[in-house]
Amino acid sequence: MSLVDPPVAALALVIGVDIGNSTTEACIADVGDGEVGRLASSLTRTTGVKGTPDNTTGAVTAVRRALEATGRPAGDLATVLLNEATPVISGLAMETITETIITESTMIGHNPDTPGGDGLGVGMTVSLDDLTTVEEEVPVVVVVGAGADFDDVAHALNTAGERGVDVVAAVLHGDDAVLVVNRLTRRIPVVDEVSAVDRVPLGMLAAVEVAAPGRTIRTLSDSYGLASTFDLDAEQTRQVSPVARALSGNRSAVVVRTPAGDVTDRRIPVGTLTLSGAGRSLDVGVDEGADAIMEAIGRVAPLDDVHGEAGTHVGGMLAKVRDTMTDVTGQPASEIRIRDVLAVDTLVPAVVRGGLAGEVSRENAVALAAMVRTSRSRMQAVADALSDELGCETIIGGVEGEVAVRGALTTPGTSVPIAIIDMGGGSTDAALLDRDGTVSAVHVAGAGELVTKLIDSELGLEDRDAAESVKRHPLAKVESFFHIRHEDGTVQFFSDPLPPHVFAKVVTVTPEGLAAVPVRGPLEEVRRVRREAKRRVFVVNALRALAQVAPQGSLRLLGSVVLLGGSALDFEIPGMVADALAPYGVVCGIGNVHGTEGPRNAVAAGLVDAHAGMVAGPAPEKLQRRAAAS
Amino acid sequence: MSGMTSPLSGVSVLGGPGCHGRIDRADDPALPPAVLVTVHDDAPPAVVREVCAGAEEQGIPTAILAPVGSGGDALARHAAGESRLEVGVGIGPDGAVVVRHALVAEPVLRLAGDAPAGRVRQAGADAARIVAGLPLRTAAQAEESSSS
C-alpha cells in the first residue's frame, strides 16, 4: 500500500479485533518501526454477549476473513489485538397504559372502505328477520347478520318501505353497503363490515351516520349532536361525551342508546419503578409516562440502580437484564446494577375492548430501554481461546472509549477536543478526548433495537423484519404498475411491471427490491413514525450522552463530534443528530476512519495504531495528512 | 332485474346498477369509462354477478363485452385492451376469472372455476381497485399465504 514506507525493519502482521454489541470488526496491517500498513478489514456478527467467551467464534471468523482478503497464510499472523470489551446488556419492554372499553355495545365507530349512502338515520334497531313484523311509520335501523345477500337485503328493505315502515338506516355484517344502497328506492346511510353485528342490541334507539366521501361524521362525533339526536339532558350529555370523542375522525358510526352503555378511557396500573441514586430512592409510576420517569431519573442522577415491580412487563424486563448479566459474568444478581434507563412515550394501536367492528384506538404506552454494564470482563478467556485457535499471541489492550476516539481522530478534518457517539444496537456510547489527553466515556440505554420496537408497535406491524426494513430503508408509494413515487416526491419509472402484491402499496426501497409495508395508512404516516422513533431515541440519547461527557456538561464546549457505529451509516440519523447539535456550534459528521473506512472499524484500527506505538493525543495531524493523501 | 335498463346504453342490465350492461362497442362515446368484463357464453351467471358486484361496491362501473376467444385469459386480454380504464376481466366457460391490465404482460390475478363466491367478488373488487389505485386484496392474501 502507498502508506507503507520502504521497510526498514522486519514487518509483523498484526490484526486488531473489536468485539462490539452486535458486530465484530477486524483490521489487519503490517506493522514495523512505528509504521502501519493497513491491508484489509472485515466485519461479522458478534457471537454471544460482548465480553464473554462466546465471542471467540465471531472473532475467529473476523480474523480469517481479514486474512483471506490479504491472501496471507494464517501462519504469518504475529499478534491479535483485542479490545477490553465489557459486557453491556440491554433490555426493552413496553407497557400499554390506557385502554378504551365499550360497554353494552353502545357504539360502532370504524372506517369501512366503502360505507353506503350518507346522512344520519335515527330509529329502533330491528333484525332483518323481524322487519316484516314492524309496525308502519316506526323509524327503524335494520341490523343484518352474516351471510345475507345484497339483493335479498335490498328487496326486504324496499318491501318494508312500501309497506309504510320508515327504514332510516342499516348496519351490515358483510362488505356490501354500496351494493345494498344502489338497489334501494330510498337512499339511507348504511355502515358495513361490522364483524360482531350479532351483538348490536335490538329494540334500542340507535343512530347511524355516514359522511360523504372525503368527509368525517359531524353529528355523532359531537356531544351536543348526540344530545339533540337522543334528546339528552345536561347530565346525560356529560356522560356520553366520551362516545363523541371516540367517534371523531370517523367516516361512519353507529351509536346505540343503552341503559348503562358507556365508553371508558381507563388507565391501566402497570406498577412502579424504584429508582435509586444520589443517596436516595424514588418511586415513579410507569403509567405516569416517559416524561415523569425521565424527570425522576434526573432527580436521582447519577443513577445507581433501578427495580421494577414483579409481575409487570417492565419489572420482568429489568429482572431479565439482571439475570442475563448474572449468567454472563457469574456475578450474583444482587451485585448487578441497572445504570441507565430510557423511557419513551408512544402510541400503539389496540383493538377496543367491547368493540363490534374490530375498532382500533391509539392507546398510550411507555417503552423502556434499560442497560447494565459490568467492569468484570472475561476477555482473557476470549484471548486464550483465540491464541489456541490461531496459534499466535493475543494481547488485550486499550479501554474502549479511548481506542474509539483514537480511531475517530483519524477522520480527516477532526481535531482535539473530540467527542464520539457510537450508535449501536443496544446502547448509545459517547466518549470525549480532552485537550489534556483525558478520555471520559459513558454508555446510555436505547439505540437501534428500541427504534425498531417503536416502529413495530406504533405502526401495529407485529413483524420485526418489516419494522427493521422501515427503519433501514427509505419509503416509496407504488403509484402504478410502472412507477413509484419516493418519499421525497421523485418519481422512478420501471420498464418491467411491478408485481401485483406491491401495487398501490407503501413500500420500502431496499437493495433487493421493493418490499410492501403491511400498513393501511399513508406513506406520510409511516415516515413520521420512523423519523419520530429515530429522533426520540438517537437524537435524545446523543444529547443525553454528550451532556454527560462534555466539559461542565455544556455541549457548547465540545469541538467536534464524530458519529460512529452501524447507525452512523443510516440514511437520516446522522443528519438528524447533526441538526440537533448545530445550535450548540458543534461540528458534527460521520466518522471516516483513516479517511477510507467510514464510521466502521474505529476501534480495530485504533488498536493497531496504538500497538504500532503511535501516540494518541493532541497532535494527530501527521496521521490525518497521511489519511488524506491515500 | 333483467327488466331494468341502463340509462346510458339502453340495453338490458346484467350486472346490477353498477354495470352498464352488455355493450357491443367498447369505443361507444356515450359509455363512461368502465372495467370491461368479457364473459364466455357458457360462463356461470353467478360468477358474472359476483365480479360485477365486487367492482360496484368499490364504486367503479363495469360493462359486459361480447366474447372474443374462449379461455378466461384471452377474454381478459381482449377486455383490458378495449377498456378505456385499461382494466379487463375475463370469465371462462368454467367460471375461471382472470383480471388483466392492458399494459402488463402477465395476468394481475387469476381464479380457478371453482373459486368460492367471496373470492370471485374480491377479484371483481380488485379489478376496480387497480383503477382506483388501491392495494389489491387478493394479491396481498396470496403473498401472505405463500410467505407463511
pLDDT one-digit tens code per residue, A38-55: 899 999 999 988 888 899
Q: Considering the domain boundaries, does residue A235 fall inside one? A: yes
The yes-or-no verdict on residue A452 having pLDDT over 60 is yes
Between the alpha carbon of residue A599 and those of residues A64, A131, A243, A411, A423, the distances in Å are 22, 72, 52, 9, 10
Confidence band, pLDDT 50/70/90 cuts, at residue A553 = confident
CA atoms within 13 A on the CB side of A58: 24
User: How far apart (Å, rounded) are the C-alpha atoms in residues A97 and A91?
Assistant: 19
The yes-or-no verdict on residue A33 having pLDDT over 80 is no
pLDDT tens digit sequence for A86-115: 777 778 888 888 888 887 768 888 888 899
Q: Give A505's contacts in chain B (Cβ within 8 Å).
A: 135
Regarding whether A385 and A272 lie in a shared domain, the answer is no
Regarding whether A257 and A113 lie in a shared domain, the answer is yes
Domain count across chain A: 3
Cβ of B136 and A500 within 8 Å? Answer: yes
Regarding whether A195 and A136 lie in a shared domain, the answer is yes
Cβ of A178 and B56 within 8 Å? Answer: yes
Query: Angle at which helices A573-581 and A540-549 pack, to 10 degrees?
Result: 50
Regarding whether A5 and A60 lie in a shared domain, the answer is yes
Where a domain ends, among A264, A288, A309? A264
The closest CB to that of B133, out of A150, A176, A479, belongs to A479
Q: What pLDDT, on the 0 to 100 scale, is given for residue A411?
A: 93
Strand order in the sheet with A303-308: A280-285, A272-277, A303-308
The yes-or-no verdict on residue A400 having pLDDT over 80 is no
Q: Give A482's contacts in chain B (Cβ within 8 Å).
A: 103
Where a domain ends, among A228, A249, A264? A264
The closest CB to that of B103, out of A182, A481, A504, belongs to A481
Regarding whether A358 and A243 lie in a shared domain, the answer is no
Q: Which of A111, A152, A172, A179 to mutate to test the interface with B (most CBs of B within 10 A)?
A: A179
Chain B interface includes A158 (CB < 8 A): no
pLDDT tens digit sequence for A208-247: 999 999 999 999 999 999 999 999 999 989 888 888 888 8
Which range, A98-112, A417-431, B44-58, is most confident? B44-58
The closest CB to that of A150, out of B53, B101, B109, belongs to B53
Chain A interface includes B7 (CB < 8 A): no
Owning domain of residue A188:
105-264
pLDDT tens digit sequence for A274-318: 999 888 999 999 989 999 999 999 899 888 999 998 888 888 888
How far B90 CA sits from the closest chain A CA (Å)? 17
Q: What pLDDT, on the 0 to 100 scale, is given for residue B141?
A: 54
Regarding whether A127 and A252 lie in a shared domain, the answer is yes
Regarding whether A181 and A136 lie in a shared domain, the answer is yes
Regarding whether A251 and A183 lie in a shared domain, the answer is yes
* Residue A403: CATH number of its domain: 3.30.420.40
Where a domain ends, among A215, A233, A264? A264
Chain B interface includes A178 (CB < 8 A): yes
* Residue A340: CATH number of its domain: 3.90.470.30
Regarding whether A169 and A74 lie in a shared domain, the answer is no
Q: Give B17's contacts in chain A (Cβ within 8 Å).
A: 182-183
What global pTM score does this model have? 0.86
pLDDT tens digit sequence for B61-73: 999 988 887 788 9
Q: What pLDDT, on the 0 to 100 scale, is given for residue A243?
A: 86
Dmax over Cα atoms in chain B, in whole Å? 49
Q: Average pLDDT, whole number, for chain A?
A: 88
Torsion angle, alpha carbons of A565, A568, A574, A577, to 10 = -20
Cβ of A114 and B56 within 8 Å? Answer: no
* Closest alpha carbon to A451 in A528, A370, A537, A525: A537
Residue B134 neighbours by CB distance under 10 Å: 16
Q: Considering the domain boundaries, does residue A452 fall inside one? A: no
Regarding whether A69 and A111 lie in a shared domain, the answer is no
Q: Considering the domain boundaries, does residue A220 fall inside one? A: yes
Q: Which of A113, A461, A495 to mutate to test the interface with B (most CBs of B within 10 A)?
A: A113
Which range, A427-431, A442-446, A587-591, is most confident? A587-591
Give the residue on B whose Cα is nearest the Cα of A155: B1
Give the residue on A whose Cα is nearest the Cα of B4: A183
* Residue A245: CATH number of its domain: 3.50.30.70
Q: Write out residues 481-520 of A within 8 Å (CB-CB) of B.
A: 481-482, 497, 499-501, 503-505, 516
Q: What pLDDT, on the 0 to 100 scale, is given for residue A241?
A: 85
Q: What pLDDT, on the 0 to 100 scale, is given for residue B11?
A: 36
The closest CB to that of A481, out of B1, B17, B101, belongs to B101
Cβ of A481 and B106 within 8 Å? Answer: no
Q: Considering the domain boundaries, does residue A219 fall inside one? A: yes
User: How far apart (Å, rounded) are the C-alpha atoms in residues A184 and B16?
Assistant: 12
Radius of gyration of chain A (CA): 31
Cβ of A500 and B108 within 8 Å? Answer: yes
Chain B interface includes A112 (CB < 8 A): no
Regarding whether A346 and A272 lie in a shared domain, the answer is yes
Q: Give A503's contacts in chain B (Cβ within 8 Å).
A: 108, 130, 135-136, 139
Confidence band, pLDDT 50/70/90 cuts, at residue B146 = very low
Cell (9 digits) for A525? 404516516
Using a 10 angstrom Cβ sphere, with 0-12 exposed, 13-18 middle and 19 or more buried, the burial of residue A395 is middle
Confidence band, pLDDT 50/70/90 cuts, at residue B140 = low
Q: Give A465's contacts in chain B (Cβ within 8 Å).
A: none
Cβ of A480 and B133 within 8 Å? Answer: yes
Domains in chain B, please, with CATH?
A: 19-147 (3.40.50.10150)
Q: Considering the domain boundaries, does residue A301 fall inside one? A: yes
Stretch A259-280: mean pLDDT: 83
Can you tell me the ipTM of this complex? 0.86
Q: Which of B48, B57, B109, B122 to mutate to test the interface with A (most CBs of A within 10 A)?
A: B57
Q: Write out residues 298-317 of A within 8 Å (CB-CB) of B.
A: none
Regarding whether A383 and A368 lie in a shared domain, the answer is no
User: Mapped to the 3 state alphabet, what secondary structure does A93-120 carry?
Assistant: EEEECEEEEEECCCEEEECCCCCECCEE
Give the residue on A whose Cα is nearest the Cα of B127: A500
Give the residue on B whose Cα is nearest the Cα of A150: B53
Confidence band, pLDDT 50/70/90 cuts, at residue A438 = confident
Instruction: Enumerate residues 6+ apart whose C-beta is below 8 A from A252.
Output: A109, A110, A111, A112, A115, A189, A191, A208, A209, A210, A211, A217
Q: Considering the domain boundaries, does residue A134 fall inside one? A: yes
The yes-or-no verdict on residue A455 having pLDDT over 60 is yes
Q: Give A480's contacts in chain B (Cβ within 8 Å).
A: 133
The yes-or-no verdict on residue A156 having pLDDT over 90 is yes
